[in-house]
Amino acid sequence: QQQQQQSSKCYRDTSVKGIDVGIGGNGIYSLLGSALYGWQMIGTEVSQESIDNVQSIIDNNKDIVNITIKKQEDKMKIFEGCIDLEDTYTFSMCNPPFYENDDNNKDAMMNRNPYKDYGGST
């Protein structure tokens, strides 16, 4: 726990402004950035169900005040319509892959190559 406290102090900076592309159903990365580091987060999402769920999480955690969720109406666009081009952002992040539904996710898991190496050693 001491290490977590030290690391969060190192990066705690309320001037950091991040964009979480596809905030998802639980908004975990925006929530962590906000709660641990004090970052201002903008989460974009195409799914109204996900937006409603993340908003409920935010509403039930009164100490989280620096997350804004924006609905992306066009899933073929990433930033357009969701961010102010006049603003400056520290970073943007995305945690793919995106699936239309659970069946697509299961299909992808069944067809994945278990021998792919994305770094490190095997």
CATH number, domain at 88? 3.40.50.150
Per-residue pLDDT averaged across 92-98, rounded? 80
Domain membership flag for residue 122: no
Contact 22, 47 (CB under 8 A): no
Instruction: Say which residue, 96 or 48, is predicted with more confidence.
Output: 48
SS3 helix, strand, coil % of the chain, rounded to 5?
35, 15, 50
Which residues span the domain enclosing 11?
2-110
Domain membership flag for residue 94: yes
Contact 30, 50 (CB under 8 A): no
Domain membership flag for residue 117: no
Q: How many domains does the chain have?
A: 1
Domain membership flag for residue 121: no
**pLDDT at residue 93 is higher than 60:** yes
Query: What is the per-residue pLDDT for 96?
Result: 72
Domain membership flag for residue 116: no
Domain membership flag for residue 118: no
